Amino acid sequence: MNWKQLFDMQKQLDTYIEVNHNLSKTDVFQEKYLALLVELGELANETRCFKFWSNKPRNEKNVILEEYVDVIHFILSLGLEKGFIYHPSEWQSAMVTETEQFTDVFEAAVAYKNNATQINYNNLFLKTLQLAEILGFTEEDIQAAYIKKNEINYERQNQGY
């Protein structure tokens, strides 16, 4: 995966939003962090993995992927906010349930918010990539969906979203 391309695209989008909303001197880390948690919740809701009380099936894979890349947008942005980028490394598949992996991602997000270090950022990124694997997404799926959603985000900004 070309993570540099996605980080560059995210930096451009963040700058575009900052300029259009007069935020260039405003610290929006807490808002981005909360947005990440909300997007993670929306993603979990689309998978319905935790809804043991319901027989309704999970949403379609493309809908889940779109929610997943919303999460990626905010993870990229949160890294850029603190001057971090993800450095790919060897990693192992998560050996937990989908629900447990969601919890792991939430916990990694809290750890990063409380102590914004490169190590905690890499862990958040890794947990999120492991979630993608559990959800059945390839790096190619993620990259293509990110690029598509990035275009939509620009359209939304231009339409006063």
| pLDDT tens readout for residues 108-154 | 999 999 999 999 999 999 999 999 999 999 999 999 999 999 888 88
pLDDT above 90: percentage of residues in the chain = 79
- With bands split at pLDDT 50, 70 and 90, how would you rate the model's confidence at 30? very high
Counting other chains too, the contacts that 100-107 makes at CB distance below 8 Å and 24 or more residues apart are 101/127, 101/130, 101/131, 101/134, 102/40, 102/43, 102/44, 102/49, 102/50, 102/131, 104/130, 104/131, 105/40, 105/131, 106/37, 106/40
CB 112 within 8 A of CB 121: yes
Q: Give the count of domains, the chain.
A: 1
Task: Give me the pLDDT at residue 42, please.
Answer: 98
Backbone phi, psi, residue 76, to 5°: -60, -45
* pLDDT, average across residues 29-48: 98
Name the residue range of residue 142's domain. Answer: 3-158
Q: How far apart are CA 88 and CA 125, in angstroms?
A: 9
Residue 92 in 3-state DSSP? coil
Whether the per-residue pLDDT at 1 is higher than 80: the answer is: no
Identify the residue with better confidence: 74 or 20: 74
Q: What are the tens digits of pLDDT across the range 67-84?
A: 999 999 999 999 999 999
Q: Is the pTM of this model over 0.85?
A: yes
107: domain CATH number? 1.10.4010.10
Identify the residue with better confidence: 73 or 24: 73
CB 79 within 8 A of CB 87: no
